[in-house]
Amino acid sequence: MPVVIVQGVKDPAVSEGLVFLEGRPGRRLRPYVTHLSAYTERYTRPLPRRQPPFAGAVMIFGFAEPLALDGPGAEAPQRLVSFAGGLHDTYVDTTMTGLAEGVQLDLTPLGARRLLGMPMSELANRVVSLAEALGPWAESAVERLAGAPDRQARLALLDELLTRRIHAAPEPDRRIRWAWGRLVATRGTIAVASLAEELGWSHRHLVSRFHDQIGLAPKAVAKVLRFEHAAARLRAGLPLADTAVRCGYYDQAHMNRDFRAMTGATPREVAAPRPASTAAAPG
């Protein structure tokens, strides 16, 4: 089923800033892909961004200038045009100058596991070139996407390519899929011991299976999910103390430590409005 466009207008020229078109994955991709976006971005001066962790994996199919990546979630400073990042529990700093154009794909960890066919621990808290993650398929996909006539065509083509590749691979472990669903549904507040008990597994076996299928241990995954929930509440203007309690932190100090580890910033700083320079226009 082709991608369904849910945001965007006719393709305007980009002089400064970000123009993007978002797509809804086709039905067969929806269990695995959470977000598709085709974009063009141009800045005359370096634009730094801090990318906090989220409960998924990201892939960039890029066609223009490389993006500089650094910080604890990048292992070492590097410049990449097309790349993949697994599940992180810390941030990545990026800096772009000039023109960036491509398609961004966000996946669930299990979607990334099925697409890549590799243990997700190999991508945990790492960013690598798309060729390293996907082999020759990556170069072919980037070439075809770059040759598509517009953003809408790129989204439709990527939906087709992903559907074909993902469904040619083995399905994820259904027990880990269930455990992942429990963590997501409880926003990371379920006890890891309860997950192991419900599965009839030892803690060690549960951690081993999560490293293979998800990338991080269940406790680290829960930490990321709690952070996402807390950050969303704070950006909505909800109180710090109430957010700490509702998101499963022992107290505000616990929440502060987690936010510092994941973003290098305090909860108040994370909740602050983004600078106008990072604003994006649909198109």
DSSP string, 238-282: --HHHHHHHTT-SSHHHHHHHHHHHHSS-HHHHHSPPPGGG-EEE
pLDDT tens-digit series, residues 225-236: 999 999 999 999
pLDDT of residue 153: 97
pLDDT tens-digit series, residues 42-80: 988 999 999 999 999 999 999 999 999 999 999 899 999
Mark out the alpha helices in 147-274 (DSSP H runs): 151-166, 174-185, 192-199, 203-213, 218-235, 240-246, 252-263, 267-271
* Structural fold of domain 4-169: Jelly Rolls (2.60.120)
**Domain residue spans of the chain:** 4-169, 174-271
pLDDT tier at 17 (50, 70, 90 boundaries)?
A: confident
pLDDT at 282 over 90: no
pLDDT tens-digit series, residues 111-169: 999 999 999 999 999 999 999 999 999 999 999 999 999 999 999 999 999 999 999 99
Return the CATH architecture of domain 174-271. Answer: Orthogonal Bundle (1.10)
pLDDT of residue 160: 97
pLDDT at 2 over 60: no
Evaluate whether 215 touches 172 at the Cβ level (below 8 Å): no
